[in-house]
Chain A
Amino acid sequence: MFEDYIFPGLIILLQSVVLLVALLIFTAFILYADRKVWAAVMSRRGPNVVGPFGLLQSFADLLKFVIKEPIIPSGSNKGIFLLAPLISSALALAGWAVIPVSEGWAIASINVGILFVFAVSSLEVYGVIMAGWASNSKYPFLGALRSAAQMVSYEVSIGFVIVTVLLCVGSLNMTDIVLSQKDGLGTHLGLTNSLLDWHWLGLFPMFVIFFISALAETNRPPFDLVEAESELVAGHMIEYSSTPYLLFMLGEYIAILLMCALTVILFLGGWLPPIDVAPLNWIPGVFWFIFKICMVFFMFAMVKTIVPRYRYDQLMRLGWKVFLPISLFMVVATASFLKFTGLA
């Protein structure tokens, strides 16, 4: 009994707690980095008061949210109103269970890892819809419909991008996806196990589509029509305050990090060093993984500062009339290429 169930269960629990704590602390600093990058581009200072260089700003914000009074509208559907932020943050965290941070460093290395992440990110839409409906007000409801349609639309192209990568890999396991990037285009060019081997080069159009779809899927600018604060108020989160709002924000940022991690695993070689030479491959894989996530997040943050917001019809057009045909064509093209060259 103890050997078979309790001991492995405890280990999984411990691993999950360690990952959770690390992830939450990382998220706090990513939030700070986001604001700093945004401020730097605008020639502002950004958060600089709490702690050295304002490093503790996110923790101060956390404290502020927690000690505020949670206001629940009297006409709202109380149970669902409180369940919605829990769902959106819990689901975002659940996706991390299958992410391999380094070789063998995954809480669950399951056969259908990538499908699990895809499923979890497609479930995140429920937090939005439930919040919008339970608030019992027209503004959150319309905001929820708007962002739900957006998230559902861009899942389609994300799905096709994942399919093209899977065609090249031949496995749905996250670790296999990373390890398959040890050998690719770069090896044919004579640079074995380097950054030229990673999928971003061979599948460059899909890399671009995935990056843009990830922005739209996580409601990041320029697709932040959910909470375009200047014209559309705060979307589904209007009625939320205090800790429930904090959970929404947390869920949003963890989902963004999940998408960054997915980009790194699918296209940027996961924990593999950029070039397999002496000083670089001594560094542990987890460092490379976090470094790459930070780089992808930096791109997310730069897009937020540089690109103006899309109009809603432009957003829908981009998803359905541009990305869907291109990604569908690329699935066929990749499959044909692999079939006729005999690489698969």
Chain B
Amino acid sequence: MLLTGLGAAFFYLFAFVAIASAVMVISARNPVHSVLYLILTFFNAAALFILTGAEFLGMILLVVYIGAVAVLFLFVVMMLDVDFASMKRGALDYAPIGAMVGIVLASELLIVLGAQFIGVGQPGSVASPTPDPLVRTNTAALGDIIYTDYVFFFQIAGLVLLVAMIGAIVLTLRPTRPGVKRQNMGQQVARKVEDSIEIVEVETGKGL
């Protein structure tokens, strides 16, 4: 989709802020500021998605990445007392590796984008062409292909995430030590007034 006029102006605004805050992510001194800039980058990326008509992806980016993943990032960075200044001292030594990763990513991105124009052996673009946004909304169009053509990939992705989640839970499991008192919710809920209170008639001057 080609953006013109106001759309183009907003595109440049969001793109500029996204790139500027991405630069700040790696150059900010304070790691918490880095994460906050990362969130700003995500936010602008979501805005770019919405601007190009992919409103569902934009919103999911907001909910999943900013609403959940970045919160955990922020938690971890805030809780860890890491001296990032000393870690950054030798950071320039890793510049060649970083550049290599960047080049690989950029070229892969170019190949993916290029394939769209060449269109050879592109099952996705041939089997399910992008529907007109006025006829079929973005969300429905995504559902159309995810739950039909790509249902197994979708299921496998879900399964991988499930396994990862179970793995994370297992990692935090500790063997129960003897002698530790824990609260038993069932017992607490099942407790009644009769179990805990006894009403006794006490005669005056006698005591119990």
Contacts and interface: CB of A to CB of B under 8 A. Distances in A.
A125 interface: yes
Nearest to B39: A126
Contacts of B33: 80
Nearest to B78: A133
Contacts of A4: 5-6
Interface in B14-64: 30, 32-33, 36, 39, 55-56, 59-60, 62-63
B67 A123 contact: yes
Interface stretch (A14-22, A28-36, A112-120, A257-265): A112-120
Contacts of B32: 77, 80, 133
Contacts of A110: 55
A111 B36 contact: no
Contact of A130 (B36, B137, B185): B36
B68 A119 contact: no
B12 interface: no
Nearest to B62: A119
B78 A111 contact: no
A309 B204 CA distance: 38
Contacts of A118: 59, 63
Interface residues of B, number: 25
A295 B165 CA distance: 40
A129 B74 contact: yes
Nearest to A114: B59
A4 B66 CA distance: 33
Interface string B171-204: 0000000000001010000000000000000000
Given A5-B5, A5-B6, A122-B68, A145 B75 contact: yes
Contact of A152 (B36, B66, B71, B137): B71
Contact of B63 (A111, A115, A133): A115
B145 to A, nearest CB: 17
Interface residues of A, number: 29
Contacts of A125: 67, 71
A4 B55 CA distance: 22
Contact of B55 (A112, A126, A130, A141): A112
A11 to B, nearest CB: 14
B128 interface: no
A172 B39 CA distance: 25
Contacts of A324: none
Nearest to A119: B62
Contacts of A126: 39, 71
B75 A148 contact: yes
B139 interface: yes
Contacts of B66: 119, 122-123
B12 to A, nearest CB: 15
Contact of B59 (A115, A133, A171, A313): A115
Nearest first, the 9 closest Cβ-Cβ pairs linking A and B are A122-B67, A119-B62, A115-B59, A111-B137, A119-B63, A112-B55, A112-B59, A5-B6, A119-B59
Given A110-B55, A125-B71, A126-B71, 8 more contacts: A4-B5, A119-B63, A122-B62, A123-B67, A129-B71, A129-B78, A155-B67, A159-B63
14 contacts: A5-B5, A80-B32, A80-B36, A110-B55, A111-B139, A112-B59, A115-B60, A115-B63, A119-B62, A125-B67, A141-B78, A152-B71, A172-B137, A172-B139
